[in-house]
């Protein structure tokens, strides 16, 4: 592609992106498509000779678009609705244009230094102390993997050289509500699913510290070595908050690594009125917060902080001859802090987003989302036909329909059907969880394009589909 062709095609891509984002509300949020349909639209073999760029772009609309679930749609209120802002999207183009690989400082000095400085900014935005060092990974799953790997190395440094067969049975603790990525990390690190002990939660889905301590003592008595506790601030199902302060005291008492998974809710630490949820976070050994979830940075970008970078480095640093440089004693080489060698310039996305919106601008958007979610929760609370199934401390609301006259044993079926109906309209996308055996619908407000009218429209869709379902029963 010549520079002139690049420029012409690039303009068309930007125009395409502009049109897509402008027209986003004209799409169904969920595509009306069956498995395999997109695959069938593509030829079985690749082209032997190059094709026109315009033809490729046309096929994005023709082949790809019909199978897109529109995460950028303001009525995507499923999972943790994550959206990409304009500056974040454009930063991705800059990053790909450089195509820098930040293996070591020398392989891209700016990548290493922009990442370090941006994460210092982000750390101060979140109010974390200066002794936390940040590093960017792709996802929270990988951040937590590295936190747990460092925890394993902290307690069992010989795991690096001798492997797991040299070690006693070890135990990691998290609540019943912790994300599945914690167990996945345990699988990958040789701790195993049986090495994870899930601690009971209270009526608000928060880990019970006394149960944690009891479990630790039981394990010690059985000859099992506790090594790590994962507390969550903003669990995936309900956004409940584990009592990190109390948990951190237990960790200190037993010398256990405390990893805090704040993948979704972590961004709200920048709001003084939300600080109450982050009590004791400064006692953590490691923390994950995902700007790609609720800070309008395009997926993927997960920030990991640790107070013990030397332990993380000890766990992962392995330097082959060809990667040694003359400045190694003076610089940070990012490859030393994780499993991956090559890494792209993700920090640019966060740097662009923080600079474009400013800290106050970002806070304003987060506050709006929390306000809108709270107004939706109030609507549920005041209704006779719906009920809240969990507190809503952030911007996710867990609820279900409770039509008068319907028995408890029929409610799960009714709510499942209701969710299917809502999603099949294409007007709104919500997802579910199960809480205390109750099928639970979740609505999340965390998208950059979400305004009051979208939440109002969501309420109308929910109410309309509820009434239709009730009339059809």
Residues found near ligand PLP in the complex (CB under 6 A): 80, 139-141, 179, 181, 232, 234-236, 261, 263-264, 290, 302
* Residue 448 DSSP SS3: coil
Residue 263 C-beta: closest distance to ligand PLP, Å: 4
Residue 158 C-beta: closest distance to ligand PLP, Å: 29
Helix 408-424 to helix 452-472 angle (10° resolution) is 120
Q: Whose Cβ is closer to ligand PLP: residue 393's or residue 403's? A: 393
Interatomic CA distance for residues 315 and 329, integer angstroms: 19
Q: Whose Cβ is closer to ligand PLP: residue 159's or residue 268's? A: 268
DSSP one-letter code for 200 = P
Residue 273 C-beta: closest distance to ligand PLP, Å: 21
Residue 147 C-beta: closest distance to ligand PLP, Å: 11
**CA angle 448-453-457, nearest 5°?**
110
**b (16+ CB within 10 A) / e for 328-363:** eeeebbbbbbbeeeebbbbbbbbbbbbebbeeeebb
Q: Whose Cβ is closer to ligand PLP: residue 104's or residue 281's? A: 281
Residue 143 C-beta: closest distance to ligand PLP, Å: 8
Q: Whose Cβ is closer to ligand PLP: residue 143's or residue 159's? A: 143
Residue 226 C-beta: closest distance to ligand PLP, Å: 22
Q: Whose Cβ is closer to ligand PLP: residue 83's or residue 333's? A: 83
Interatomic CA distance for residues 153 and 135, integer angstroms: 18
Q: Whose Cβ is closer to ligand PLP: residue 302's or residue 450's? A: 302
Interatomic CA distance for residues 471 and 164, integer angstroms: 60
Q: Whose Cβ is closer to ligand PLP: residue 118's or residue 238's? A: 238
Residue 79 C-beta: closest distance to ligand PLP, Å: 6
* Whether the Cβ atoms of residue 193 and residue 231 lie closer than 8 Å to each other: no
Q: What are phi and psi of 158, to 5 degrees?
A: -75, -10
Residue 140 C-beta: closest distance to ligand PLP, Å: 4
Interatomic CA distance for residues 152 and 174, integer angstroms: 15
Burial (CB < 10 A; 0-12, 13-18, 19+), residue 53, is middle
Q: Whose Cβ is closer to ligand PLP: residue 263's or residue 380's? A: 263
Interatomic CA distance for residues 69 and 193, integer angstroms: 32
Interatomic CA distance for residues 253 and 170, integer angstroms: 17
Residue 244 C-beta: closest distance to ligand PLP, Å: 14
Phi-psi sector, 103: left (phi>0), alpha (psi -120 to 50), beta: alpha
Residue 267 C-beta: closest distance to ligand PLP, Å: 12
Greatest Cα pair distance, the chain, in angstroms, is 76
Interatomic CA distance for residues 289 and 268, integer angstroms: 10
Q: What are phi and psi of 354, to 5 degrees?
A: -65, -40
Burial (CB < 10 A; 0-12, 13-18, 19+), residue 327, is exposed
Among 5, 266, 325, 310, smallest CA distance to 128 is for 266
Q: Whose Cβ is closer to ligand PLP: residue 263's or residue 398's? A: 263
Q: Whose Cβ is closer to ligand PLP: residue 81's or residue 104's? A: 81
């Amino acid at each position: 592609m010549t520079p002139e062709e690049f420029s012409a095609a690039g303009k068309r891509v930007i125009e395409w992106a502009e049109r897509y984002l402008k027209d986003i509300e004209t799409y169904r949020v969920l595509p009306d498509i069956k498995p395999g349909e997109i695959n069938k639209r593509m030829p079985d073999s690749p082209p032997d000779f190059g094709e026109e760029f315009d033809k490729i772009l046309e096929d994005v609309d023709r082949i790809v678009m019909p199978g897109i679930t529109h995460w950028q749609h303001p009525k995507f209120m499923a999972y943790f609705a994550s959206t990409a802002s304009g500056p974040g999207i454009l930063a991705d183009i800059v990053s790909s244009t450089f195509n820098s690989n930040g293996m070591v400082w020398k392989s891209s000095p700016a990548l290493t230094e922009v990442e370090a400085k941006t994460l210092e900014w982000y750390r101060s935005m979140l109010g974390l102390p200066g002794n936390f060092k940040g590093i960017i990974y792709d996802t929270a799953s990988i951040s937590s993997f590295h936190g747990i790997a460092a925890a394993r190395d902290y307690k069992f440094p010989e795991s690096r050289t001798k492997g797991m067969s040299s070690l006693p049975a070890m135990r990691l603790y998290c609540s019943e509500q912790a994300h599945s990525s914690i167990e996945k990390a345990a699988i990958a690190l040789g701790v195993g699913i049986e090495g994870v002990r899930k601690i009971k939660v209270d009526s608000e889905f928060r880990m019970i510290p006394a149960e944690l301590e009891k479990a630790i003592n039981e394990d010690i008595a059985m000859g099992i070595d506790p090594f790590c506790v994962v507390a969550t601030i903003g669990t995936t199902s309900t956004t409940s908050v584990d009592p990190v302060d109390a948990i951190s005291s237990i960790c200190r008492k037993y010398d256990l690594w405390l990893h805090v998974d704040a993948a979704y809710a972590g961004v709200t630490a920048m709001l003084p009125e939300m600080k109450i949820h982050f009590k004791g976070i400064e006692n953590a050994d490691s923390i994950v917060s995902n700007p790609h979830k609720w800070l309008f940075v395009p997926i993927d970008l997960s920030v990991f902080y640790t107070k013990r970078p030397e332990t993380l480095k000890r766990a992962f640093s392995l330097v082959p001859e060809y990667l040694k440089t003359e400045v190694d004693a003076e610089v940070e080489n990012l490859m030393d802090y994780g499993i991956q060698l090559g890494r792209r310039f993700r920090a640019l996305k966060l740097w662009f987003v923080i600079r474009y919106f400013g800290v106050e601008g970002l806070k304003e958007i987060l506050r709006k989302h929390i306000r809108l979610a709270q107004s939706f929760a109030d609507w549920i609370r005041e209704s006779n036909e719906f009920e809240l199934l969990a507190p809503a401390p952030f911007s996710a609301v867990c609820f279900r329909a409770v039509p008068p006259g319907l028995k408890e044993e029929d409610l799960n079926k009714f709510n499942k059907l209701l969710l299917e109906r809502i999603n099949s309209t294409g007007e709104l996308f919500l997802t579910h969880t199960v809480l205390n055996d109750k099928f639970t619908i979740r609505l999340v407000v965390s998208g950059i394009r979400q305004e009051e009218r979208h939440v109002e429209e969501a309420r109308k869709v929910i109410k309309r589909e509820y009434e239709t379902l009730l009339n059809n029963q």
